[in-house]
Amino acid sequence: MNNFKKGIVFAALFSSLFFIGCSNDSDEDLIGNWIKKSAFDGPARSSATSFVIGDYAYVTTGYTGDVYLKDLWSYNSTGDYWEQKADFPGIGRSSASAFALNQKGYIGLGYDGTNKLKDFYQYNPTNNTWTQKTDFAGTGRYAAVGFQAGGKAYFGTGYDGNYLKDFYQYNDQTNAWTLVNGFSGNKRRNATAFVIADKVYLGTGSNNGVYQEDFWEFNPATDVWTRKRDIDKDTDDDNSYNDDYAIVRSNASSFTMNGLGYVVGGENIKTIWEYNPTTDLWAEKTPMEGASRTDAVGFAINNRGFYMLGRTGSTYFDDAWEFKPLEEQTSDDN
């Protein structure tokens, strides 16, 4: 090999090493550590739903790739173990919605492989029983969001054959649904929402295959939606706050810890972003250390954030992870 060719080979190798090094350095600069927890005891699945009561998270329904599920599992966050509870009494389904209200869990909506559903059920963890409640007042749908803030609980958005943006409030004292003030954002399915200080933050999702860039705050005390800064990447000098944003996605999960919101995962994405409601700004954290996945479950228990299940293509997962936002990343705890 002549000196000219040797020089080309050396330059190429050096360039490859340089870019690999830069990529690793970039990841190492991010803060946050993922810790593998006790694997989910039920079948691996995607599109499950969950709610949290006290020290326990409850995970139910979902899809294995062959079966629509109705089993219910309780996660003990202190002991890091799972216990099976009474099966969900409705038909097995995926992409249902849920919330917790007054120490009880509520689940409804979803898709059973044929129908878009609107039935609705209450779970009482004290005696491990389910009770069917008044059907959701909107159209049967799936991939909607459910949340509770300030003692008020809601279902909204989703897909009923069309993309949706309506919201309904559930009153557990009267067992009734009420259509609430209009949401000014775009229609969407597979959005995600988290709650900070009795305010709801909603974003991401898709509408006709387009990832949604708008991001909203909802105050249930006033029934007012307020648009916050968009979560798109924008190189305009006037919007320099989001030049590096890569938050838009669908089928993501979210949770809240210590007054900050976190959005993680989604279709072919394993990144996680932290939202500060005081500044209305986002910061990227250490990406999920497990496999990238979509249709996973995320929740927080006593300011501890968890992320689990989901799928990549036809591969379904049963692993569970805890995210520590203030720790340096290390692989020794996986």
The per-residue pLDDT for 240 is 77
Give me the pLDDT at residue 28, please.
61
At 21 the pLDDT is 37
Q: Quote the pLDDT of residue 15.
A: 39
Q: Which residues contact 304 (CB under 8 A, 6 or more apart)?
A: 77, 257, 322
Q: What's phi and psi for 42, nearest 5 deg?
A: -80, 180
Three-class SS state of 320: strand
pLDDT at 238: 64
Helix or strand holding residue 4 (H, E)? helix 3-28
CB-based burial label for 220 (10 Å; 0-12, 13-18, 19+): buried
The series of mean pLDDT values per 10 residues for the chain, 334 residues long, is 42 38 54 97 98 98 98 97 98 98 98 98 98 98 98 98 98 97 91 98 97 97 95 72 92 98 95 98 96 97 98 97 95 70
Q: Which residues contact 43 (CB under 8 A, 6 or more apart)?
A: 64, 67, 69, 71, 316, 318
Query: Would you state the pLDDT for residue 181?
Result: 80
As beta bridge partners, residue 282 has 275
Q: What is the pLDDT of residue 233?
A: 79
